[in-house]
Amino acid sequence: MPAKTRTPRNTLSPELIVRTALDLMEGQGSDALSLRGLAAELGVGPMALYTYFRNKDDLYDAVRDHLMGLIPPVPEDVAWPDQVRAVCRGLRALMLQHPCLAQLLAGRPLSGHETARVAEDLLGVLRSAGFDAQTAARTHTTLFTYVLGATSWEIQMAAERQDPQERRRLRATIESLSPTEFPTVVALTPELSRTTGGDEQFDYGLDLLLAGLQTGQQAGG
């Protein structure tokens, strides 16, 4: 195996460290990232990283900020429900493209400047739509946890479907269910299998949340 090329002197930067850390996390998962391994990948000593990041949590926050900064701005020329959809779909698309983001958001949900920017955008949409402070805050939290939970589930199920051993385990579990004890689950197994991910399923859940929100708005109006 060829030796790692050392990073040229005076070219190490926060941006290079973040991009390299992201590449490693994409390949190995965020849990496998270590500052020592990252330093080796960059061809520098571990202490060089501490010039820019105090610890691994600081680095995680920087990677997450980098990714969250890729979410497109809220469209201004559409109704507020479509603005909410755009934010939620944008976050989901980013997590599907970079699955490590789901781990970072779940592990440190309230850290990071760009996470606050996305929250600012969504809360701004809700307040401009006429929702009071409490409703806007509760709605933001509900939408965020829906997107995070639904997309994390989708990522996990997709990974299991790609693993032959996991596919066999899932098939064995389904086949072991008694139609007498679990008649509805067995009868709806084909339909349930189609609800483990995809745009249609995500939008179904999002539309349910928005329908409830619009009903409450109309009742309050």
Q: Of 27-31, 124-128, 168-172, 203-207, which gets the smallest average pLDDT?
A: 27-31
DSSP label at 43?
Answer: T
* Model pLDDT, residue 132: 94
Assign 3-class secondary structure to 20-41: HHHHHHHHHCHHHCCHHHHHHH
**Longest distance between any two alpha carbons in the chain, whole Å:** 70
* Model pLDDT, residue 202: 97
The answer to whether the CB of 202 falls within 8 A of the CB of 150 is yes
* Model pLDDT, residue 167: 81
Sign of CA dihedral 185, 189, 191, 196: positive
* Other Cβ atoms closer than 10 A to 153: 15
**Sole residue written with tokens 């989708």:** 154
Burial class (CB in 10 A: 0-12, 13-18, 19+), 38: buried
**Single pTM value for the model:** 0.86
- Output the average pLDDT for the chain: 89
Residue 5 has pLDDT above 70, yes or no: no
Tens digit of each residue's pLDDT (9 = 90 or more) over 84-117: 999 999 999 999 999 999 989 988 766 778 889 9
